[in-house]
């Protein structure tokens, strides 16, 4: 599976990338929302791991931009964030086409399982 990881925390990106590569997945990291959006526009990915809270371009903004291009559902986005999200938040993003939500506290094996099941 080809996975794009968008997270401004470089160490988090690298840890996810290393784990997924060990499991046989191809990965690309984008440490900034703008770079991540460019990656989505120019390359094809099977799944996108997206953090919501980033300083320049948030995950919410990325989803809004993809929504304008009718690409949210096709992008197979899994939100992987330390930010708490309510059922209302989940409903909002699921209606837009986000595939799943996962707290970073759940760990990498759960992330891979979620990516595979989406």
Sequential pLDDT tens for the chain (118 residues): 999 999 999 999 999 999 999 999 999 999 999 999 999 999 999 999 999 988 888 899 999 999 999 888 889 999 998 888 888 988 888 888 999 999 898 999 999 999 999 8
Residue from 117, 112, 90, 114 nearest 24 by CA = 112
Q: Which two tokens stand for residue 87?
A: 């059922």
Q: Which two tokens stand for residue 19?
A: 């784990």
**Threshold 0.85, pTM exceeds:** yes
Q: Which two tokens stand for residue 68?
A: 């304008």
- Residue 46, pLDDT score: 97
- Residue 82, pLDDT score: 87
The superfamily (CATH) of domain 2-117 is: Response regulator (3.40.50.2300)
């Amino acid at each position: 599976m080809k996975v794009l990881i968008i997270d401004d925390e470089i160490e988090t990106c690298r840890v996810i990338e290393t784990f997924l590569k060990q499991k046989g997945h191809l990965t690309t990291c984008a440490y900034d929302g703008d770079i991540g959006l460019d990656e989505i526009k120019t390359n094809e990915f099977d799944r996108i791991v997206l953090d919501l809270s980033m300083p320049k371009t948030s995950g919410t903004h990325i989803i809004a931009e993809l929504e304008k291009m009718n690409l949210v559902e096709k992008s197979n986005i899994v939100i992987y964030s330390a930010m708490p999200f309510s059922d209302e938040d989940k409903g909002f993003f699921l209606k837009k086409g986000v595939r799943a939500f996962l707290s970073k506290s759940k760990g990498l094996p759960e992330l891979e399982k979620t990516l595979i099941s989406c």
